[in-house]
Structure 1
Amino acid sequence: MIGNVNCIEIESLDHPGLEVYSRLTEAGLRGDGEIFIVESPKVISVALDSGLVPVSLLCERRHIAGQAAGIIARLDGVPVYTGDREVLAALTGYVLTRGVLCAMRRPEARSACEVCRGARRVAVLDSVVDSTNVGAVFRSAVALGVDAVLLAGGACDPLCRRSVRVSMGAVFLVPWARFDGGPDALRAMGFRTVAMALADSSVPLDSPLLRNEERLAIIIGNEGDGLPPATVAAADYVVRIPMAHGVDSLNAAAAAAVAFWELRVR
């Protein structure tokens, strides 16, 4: 025991309570379940600060009195499973990032209208399925003043392990929701819509037309196919990022960061 924390030495990989950690392949714990996983003390701290509820901690023994000590001190009554690096790697299927994992309870889902209430800049990820891109977009959204993120068309779960890690906890700092509408539904919530796409009708990102818009929804498309033609046709603005040397497009996460900066509230 450390304070009110129950430290449990792992002697068997089938110890009760370890099931969630034994499914830590990308396919096995992709997201959308009741429990999700947070890695590293820094990101776990962000999650706790955001009010998320821990279920258990998995920690290399050497970190209990080291980099995990501050986290453990906050886990009143939460079991802390511990063991050597080799034992934990055998359990999870990979060497733990910074030696610390925390299983947390997924927060209640929110509606698009709820998270967009009062927002001036919203990012809409339409079928962005790469977890690294989703995490990077959330990190840029927090850093560059985006007020909410909407996930459309089967976009990757922001609480999957890799998205959480890449975002450095930003997925806990900006409200987000699933969204099954299009530009018309965004307009009904009071937004002018910006479709990021290469099209004959597109205007450059730094166009003065965009700077004075009070509320903008910035729609980012799938990594391979971009936005559906119907979404592009229905948007108020179709916008391209001016580029040099014959480059026609950027990675979805990089394009989102550029757009968030240029279209930020001034």
Structure 2
Amino acid sequence: MTRTLADPRSVPAELRPYLQEVVRRTHSVCGSHLVSVIAVGSVALGDYRHGRSDTDVTVVVDLPLPRGTLTELAAALTHPALPCPAAGLELVVYDEGFAARASGEAGYLLDLNTGPLLPGKVSLDPARSPAFWYVIDRSVAHQAGRALHGRPARAVIAEPARADVLTALRASVREHSTGEGHLADNRVLNGCRSVQYCRTGRWQAKRRAARAVAAAEARFRPLLTAAAHSYERPRTAAADLPATEVRAFLAWVAEQVDATADSERRRRKPGE
């Protein structure tokens, strides 16, 4: 049976045939165990940049899955067996029971990274991966995920506790502060998104977050403007940003996340 996207207009035109095939193959492999296929990341937040962005997908299934289902799914979706038109596909599979809980753990059944510009990864062991990536993605999915197939994101993915999201953000900032494996513009824009989450409790597209932070923090405005302009280019043409300024900005972001987390802890203390 052909499986079409629930709402083709909800995803960029460049990705529609690909995501439809992702849905079709996922349903073919998982069958009646498939609960939802959900677009997250830049597609969900309305800031997908073709040639720059990954396409992030969350799959929710019910258990028990037949033996070999997850490895079969990874093989069916791996580039170039299924050519990815985006920079890469980051696909995570969760058990329905786990996804419905507000957890600070990684908790996945399968984590697949594949694509022309993305280092390949197939993991069936969540203990081998830092939890923060998955906590942030599930928070984004709960708030803004776009159902490509099956039940809506809010119906199947719980919002992680704010304290767990703040812990995840601090780990994310540490990761991006090292610079290893990350473009400078993306490191800066992720920092902006972290600050805006701290201030609003909502996830924003990276460039929108950069505009908001730049408007409030004049000292960082030239760096943030340069990062946003660089993000409009393909990955291979990203601009070199001043390393000292990037480090100083991310140190400031870490301070904002820490201050927000400290404030939340004080607020939760009984009797106050």
TM score, norm. by length of structure 1: 0.25
Report which of the two has the higher share of strand: 1
From the two aligned structures, give the one with the greater helix fraction: 2
- Higher-RCO chain (CA-CA 8 Å, sequence separation at least 6): 1
Query: What is the TM-score when the length of structure 2 is the normalising length?
Result: 0.25
Highest CA radius of gyration, 1 or 2?
Answer: 1
